[in-house]
Structures are given as structure tokens and as C-alpha cells.
Homo-oligomer: A and B are copies of this chain.
Amino acid sequence: MATAVNDLNVPHRLLLGPGPSAVHPRVLRTMSTALVGYLDPEWLALMDEEQDLLRAVFQTANALTLPMSGTGSTGMETAFCNFVEPGDTVVIGCNGYFSERMCEMARLYGAKVIRIEKPWGAVLTPAEVEETLRAHRPVKIFALIHAETSTGALQPLTGMAEAAHRHGALFLIDCVTSLSGVPLNIDEWGVDVAFSASQKCLGCPPGLSPFTANERALRLLHARKTRVPNWYLDLTMIEKYWNKERLYHHTPSTTLHYGLREGLRLVLEEGLEDRWFRHQAIAEYLWEKMENLGLKLFVPREHRLASLTTVCVPEGVEDATVRTRLREIYNIDIAGGFGPLKGKIWRVGLMGFSSRRENVTLLSEALREILHGRN
């Protein structure tokens, strides 16, 4: 029975959802490279290069900068299982799906979670952060989602690290959907801990989560009273494989690292600032095309995220029907909303290799045909 399974034969989809984005052909090609062992000197040199590339993309000098072996969620869990100890207070800006996930994980590791509540799609101000941090001292971590994929809002980070540090808290961000697609400067902006994902603006397949933590965060890690209660994501062990000790912890996914290395090379070949500019320009073209179709955008312009745009589903139009037509007739994949936004928005991702002008031209004409008829 099972032996009758056919050759892999997947449709050629244009990936314009919240991720995975289209993987760059050079990355796809690189991943068919034969493997080397995880202690081979040539592999160890590749690890060093990968860390250098990641530092350049994160804009950080942090020694502990490495790809965790899993999707963005492992990056998030790495942050909370390593830096939270039972009883710690963690303040989280709550304005979308992924901040809810942060709350869940922080609680799982024993934190007392203080929520700063905002409607989905809104962003936090430094003043309300300051107020909450002051009211709940001592705070161990203040955490934000930089680019919220469930709403399409970009959280400004100005003043946030300063507020966190004034109250002795670590400043932790989820930059899953922003890294290399939206301006981000880990060191200059005072971010202590950050994690991302390979399958968004980096244009690689899912399965690795770029992670960085500075000395301030590591001092807290090394001063823990209790052992990190997660084996696979325990940074005190993982750092010993990625630093000069090269102590085996778990087998890295050679193929995914080959791919990420190529993806990071592409980012730096393009230039980080040019890449941010491209993501912004292509997004603005999308916004213009959507408005020309009479569609409203969910997030006000000043907080709109270039890498993921949320478009309001018009009155009288059925969300799922349109997405099914896009997929079945045009081979285009976009996503719907979830939680309070289910059925109300479409989510259009323009990330990495998916962020190309012709993709927007095609999508908007396909949407026009579906919504207004063919001609």
C-alpha cells in the first residue's frame, strides 16, 4: 500500500502568505549539497561563517548569535525557558496572536505574566510601557513582538529598550517577520534577546530560528538558581557547541544550515538597507494596488508592516471563497485572519524572494478578476 506512494509532485504555488515565503532558487539548489559530519573541521568553519553572517544581519556583535534547531517558536521558547525562572515577573505587550503565545510560554516556565493590553492591530507606546514596568518592579523581562504576523502591525521600538533598562528588565523581541525585511539594529536599539525564523524575510525553508543574546542576558542565564527546564533548547549546553569548545549537544540539520548560509549571503549581497528599502517599496506598491481595487487596509499607514499586509475583506465577500479561487485558478497562496480577525482580513506576505513587483501585479489583477469579473 504505502510503497505505491508517487514521486513528489507539488503544485507550483506563489507563496504570498505569512510564511513560508518563496525560497530563493540559489537556496533551494544549495540544499541538494551532500552532507559533511558535524565535527568535521570544514563544518566547524561553516558554523563560524554562519554566525558572522547572522551577526551582520542582526546588526550585533553578540558572541551568542546562532540558529536554534527549530522554527520561530523554538526561538521564542528558547528565550523564555532560558531567561525565566519560576516566580519572575514578565511584562508582555499583548496586541496579537504571537504575543498570546509569548504569554503562554512565559507562564509555562513559571513566570508571573503582566499583560499590557491593546486591540489587535494597535501598537504600544513607550509611556504605557514605562507605567506598567514602574508598577510591577522588579521585572525580569519586557517582551514585544516587533512585526505581528497576525495583524500586520509594526511595533516601533524607539524608547522601549530604555524603558526596560530603567527598570532593570531585559528587553526581548520577536523579530520573526522583520529580520532582513524591516529596519532592525539589535545593538544600537538596545535589544538584549531576539529571535527570528528562516522562512520569512530571509527566504529560506522553515526549520531554523536565528537567535541572539547579549552579555547582560548571558550573565542572568549563568546565574540561574535552577537548571534550564528544557533539554533541547538549553543555551548553557548549546553555546558550548557553537563556541570554541565544540561540545556535541545535538546533531545540527546540515541541509538547513547550508540553505540558511546561502540565504544570509543573498541578504548581504543585496545589502541590508537596500533589502529593507525593497520590502518597503514593494509593499507600498501593493497598498496602492489594493486601494485602487477599493479595498481597505487594516492597519493605519504609520504602523503598517512592509513584510505582511492585512487587507480588509469587503462587505458581502466570503473570505475563504476568494482564497480558494486564488489558489485553484491562479496558484497564489495568501492567508486569512485568525482569532478576532477570522473572516475579516486577508494576510498578504511580501517577504524575501516573494517580495517582487511582478508578484504584486499578478495578485492584484487576480483579485480584480475574482472580485469584479474578468475584463
How many Å from the CB of A324 to the closest CB on chain B? 9
Copy tally for this chain in the complex stands at: 2
In the complex, how many angstroms separate the beta carbon of A225 from the nearest chain B beta carbon? 16
Does A327 belong to the interface (CB within 8 Å)?
yes
Residue ID in chain B nearest A5 by CB atoms: B49
Q: Return the chain B residue nearest A272 by Cβ.
A: B3
Q: How far is the CB of A354 from chain B (nearest CB, A)?
A: 11
> Could you give, for residues 242-281 of chain A, a 1 whenever the CB lies within 8 Å of some chain B CB and a 0 otherwise?
0000000111111110110110110011000000000000
Residues of B within 8 A of A13 (CB): 34-37, 40
Number of residues on chain A facing chain B (CB within 8 A)? 76
Quick check: B2 and A232 within 8 Å, CB to CB?
no
Proximity bits, A94-125, B CB within 8 Å = 1, else 0 = 00000000001100100000000000000000
Tell me the minimal C-beta distance from A350 to chain B in angstroms. 15
Asked if A69 contacts B254 (CB within 8 A), the reply is no
Q: Does A189 contact B (CB under 8 A)?
A: no
Looking at the complex, which one of B46, B74, B327 makes contact with A232 (CB distance below 8 Å)? B74
Q: Mark A30-47, 1 if CB is under 8 A from B, else 0.
A: 111111111110110010
Interface residues of A (CB under 8 A from B): 1-3, 5, 8, 10-13, 15, 17, 19-20, 22-23, 28-40, 42-43, 46, 49, 52-53, 55-56, 69-74, 77, 104-105, 108, 197, 199, 205-207, 227, 229-233, 249-256, 258-259, 261-262, 264-265, 268-269, 327, 333, 335
Cβ contacts A to B, 25 pairs, < 8 Å: A2-B55, A3-B268, A10-B34, A10-B36, A11-B40, A11-B42, A13-B35, A13-B36, A13-B40, A17-B37, A20-B35, A22-B34, A23-B255, A28-B32, A37-B335, A40-B333, A72-B251, A73-B251, A199-B251, A205-B254, A206-B251, A206-B252, A207-B207, A232-B232, A232-B233
